[in-house]
DNA sequence: CTTCAAACAGAAAATATTTCTGTAAAAGTA
DNA sequence: TACTTTTACAGAAATATTTTCTGTTTGAAG
C-alpha cells in the first residue's frame, strides 16, 4: 500500500472534485485512461479513498449555528463511554465527536439551525444523557476555514 | 429556493454517496431520470450542493494525530484577525478554523502525521505567527464520529 | 536468454449523463 | 370559461464516461 507520486496526484485531484472524469485526470497528469482507472480502483479497494460525498451548504439548509461542546462524563468507565458514543452516533446535529485529553472528555461539533434549536438540543438531548455530567459550549462566531482536503 | 420533499430525498442520497447515478436516485425515489436530473442541476446552480469531494482515509495517508488548538490572539483588531486568517488558509494541516466566543479566540482542528510533526507545527508554524499570543492544545485520543452529512 | 509481472495504451462494450421532444396538471390572465 | 404560461414529469436520442478487453513495453527474477 505504498503511494507513488502518480497516486498522490490522483488523490489530490479527487479530493478537490470527485466529479473529475477519468479523462480529466488522465489529461491533468499526462496518462491514458487505463492506468488512471486501475489506480483509482486500487485506491478505492485499499480504502485510501473511503467514499465520495456531496458537500452541501449548511446555511442554505437553514443551519445557521455551529457550536463546539466540551463534554465531561460522570464516570470514565468503558460502559459510560460506550453508552455516550452510541447516543452521539444517533444525533444528526453532531457532525464530529472526539474523545480527548484535557479538562473535559469529549469535544463535539454541532451544526444546528439557530440558538433556539441549540437550547433545545442542549437541554433536552445532550444534558439529559445519563453519562453526561458537564457541558461547556463554545459558539462559532465566524467560519474561517472548513475543508475535507487532507494534506498528502 | 424552497426545498420540497423530493429535493430533500435527493440531497440525503447525494450526501451519502456522490457516486449514485441519476438512475440509482430515480429508482430509490420512484421518479424518471428527467426530474432527478433537473433537480440536481438546480440544486447545484443554487449552491445547495456546493461540491463533490472524495473522502480519504487519514491514517492510510499517514496522518495519525488529530488535535484541536485553542488560539488566543495578541489583539482583537480586524487587521490582526485578517492576518491570522490568511496565514491559516495557507496551512494544509489546519482543516478547520473558526472564530469563537469564550476564553480564547479561535478553535482550530489540525490533522498531522504524529507528535513530532505537531511539535514542529506548533513551535515553528503556529506560535511564530505574529498575531498569536497563546495556544492551548487538546489532543484527540479516539475518534467517535466524523461526518460530512448535515441534518436536512 | 526466457519468463513473469507491472504499468501503460488503445479500442470496444456497457453505462451514465445530457439534450430534445412532448404530455399533463396547476396557476395565472383576459 | 377559455386561453396562455409554467412546472413537473416521461421517454427517447445523442453524447460522454466508465468498464472491459487485447496487446505492447519494460524491468526484474529465474
Q: Where are the beta strands (DSSP E) in chain A?
A: 49-56, 65-73, 94-100, 106-112, 132-146
A positions 97-126 inside 8 Å of B (CB): 97-102, 106-107, 111-112
Q: How confident is the model at residue B140 (pLDDT cuts 50, 70, 90)?
A: very high
Q: Tell me, yes or no, whether B63 and B136 share the same domain.
A: yes
Q: Which residue has the cell 480527548?
A: A100
Say yes or no: B27 contacts chain A, CB-CB below 8 A.
no
**Closest by CA position to A111, among listed A85, A93, A97:** A93
Residues 6+ apart with CB under 8 A from A70: A103, A104, A106, A107, A108, A135, A136, A137, A138
Looking at the structure, tell me whether residues A74 and A106 fall in a common domain. yes
A37 CA – D19 C1', rounded, Å? 9
Q: In this complex, which of A48, A96, A143 lies closest to B56 when CB atoms are compared? A: A48
Tell whether the model's pLDDT for residue B115 goes beyond 80: yes
Q: What is the average pLDDT score of chain A?
A: 97
A71 and A125 in a common domain: yes
Residue B89 has a pLDDT of 98
Q: pLDDT at position B1, please?
A: 73
Region A122-126: what's the mean pLDDT? Answer: 98
Give the domain CATH number at B103: 3.30.70.920
**Is B51 inside any structural domain?**
no
pLDDT-based confidence at B2, cuts 50/70/90?
confident
User: Does B42 lie in the same domain as B63?
Assistant: no
As a 3-state breakdown, chain A gives helix, strand, coil percent values, each rounded to 5, of 40, 30, 30
* Same domain membership, residue B86 and residue B116: yes
Please compute the mean of the pLDDT values over residues A54-60 and round it to a whole number. Answer: 98
Q: Nucleotide C16: nearest residue by CA–C1'?
A: B21
Closest approach of A121 to chain B, Cα-based (Å): 13
**Domain co-membership, B89 together with B136:** yes
- What pLDDT, on the 0 to 100 scale, is given for residue A1? 74
What are the grid coordinates assigned to B73, written together? 490572539
Expressed as residue numbers, the domain containing A136 is 58-140
Query: Domain check: are A133 and A70 in the same one?
Result: yes
Q: Residue B2, Cβ neighbours under 10 Å: how many? A: 4
- A64 and A135 belong to one structural domain: yes
Q: Which helix (H) or strand (E) holds B95?
A: strand B94-100
Q: How many domains does chain A have?
A: 2
Residues A41 and A87 in one domain: no
Average pLDDT, chain B: 97
Quick check: is A147 in a domain? no
pLDDT in tens, B89-100: 999 999 999 999
Q: pLDDT category, B102, cuts 50, 70, 90?
A: very high
Amino acid at each position: 500500500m505504498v503511494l507513488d507520486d502518480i497516486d498522490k496526484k490522483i488523490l489530490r485531484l479527487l479530493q478537490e472534485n470527485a466529479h473529475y472524469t477519468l479523462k480529466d485526470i488522465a489529461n491533468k497528469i499526462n496518462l491514458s485512461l487505463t492506468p488512471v482507472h486501475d489506480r483509482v480502483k486500487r485506491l478505492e479497494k485499499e480504502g485510501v479513498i473511503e467514499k465520495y460525498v456531496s458537500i452541501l451548504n449548511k446555511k442554505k439548509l437553514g443551519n445557521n449555528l455551529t457550536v463546539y461542546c466540551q463534554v465531561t462524563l460522570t464516570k470514565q468507565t468503558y460502559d459510560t463511554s460506550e453508552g455516550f458514543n452510541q447516543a452521539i452516533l444517533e444525533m444528526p446535529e453532531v457532525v464530529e465527536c472526539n474523545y480527548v485529553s484535557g479538562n473535559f472528555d469529549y469535544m463535539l461539533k454541532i451544526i444546528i439551525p439557530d440558538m433556539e434549536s441549540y437550547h433545545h438540543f442542549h437541554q433536552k438531548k445532550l444534558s439529559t444523557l445519563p453519562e453526561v455530567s458537564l457541558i461547556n459550549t463554545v459558539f462559532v462566531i465566524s467560519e474561517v476555514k472548513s475543508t475535507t482536503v487532507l494534506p498528502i
